[in-house]
Amino acid sequence: MYTAPSQRLAASYAREAAASRVASASPHELIMMLFDGLLASLLSAKGAMERGDVAAKGQAIGKAVRILEEGLRAGLSPEGGELSGRLEALYDYCGRQLTWANLHNDVKRIDEVIDLIKAVADAWQQIRPQ
């Protein structure tokens, strides 16, 4: 597949900008970026599902599950007590819902995960350090 030089340049710039943003972010901002990426992947998966684009749906759901597992869940502190335990259970539940949604083209399950993650992301945003 041919990619125009301007498209390659724009993609390279976007990668560099993202890397710079991550490098200068606080731990709180990094978690917010994970929530933003997760929600973007979920919306992408939902759109792909509605269009019948199986490959894009699988990629978007796969990315969402990786963010849940390797980003949010892996970042939970073992010393976090009850809150960490509840978040771990929520992320596990969301991962299972996304697997079901992927296998059965179930948009409602993606919507449920979006609602759950938005609530946690909103709460996280409210506790941002001053």
The answer to whether the CB of 111 falls within 8 A of the CB of 46 is yes
Residue type, 67: I
Domains of the chain (ranges, CATH numbers): 26-126 (1.20.120.340)
What are 26's two structure tokens? Answer: 């606080």
- The tens digit of pLDDT for each residue in 47-81 reads 999 999 999 999 999 999 999 999 999 989 888 88
Angle at which helix 27-51 crosses helix 54-66, to 10 degrees, equals: 160
Model pTM score: 0.83
One pLDDT digit (tens) per residue for the chain, 130 residues: 556 666 665 655 555 655 666 666 788 899 999 999 999 999 999 999 999 999 999 999 999 999 999 999 998 988 888 999 999 999 999 999 999 999 999 999 999 999 999 999 999 999 877 6
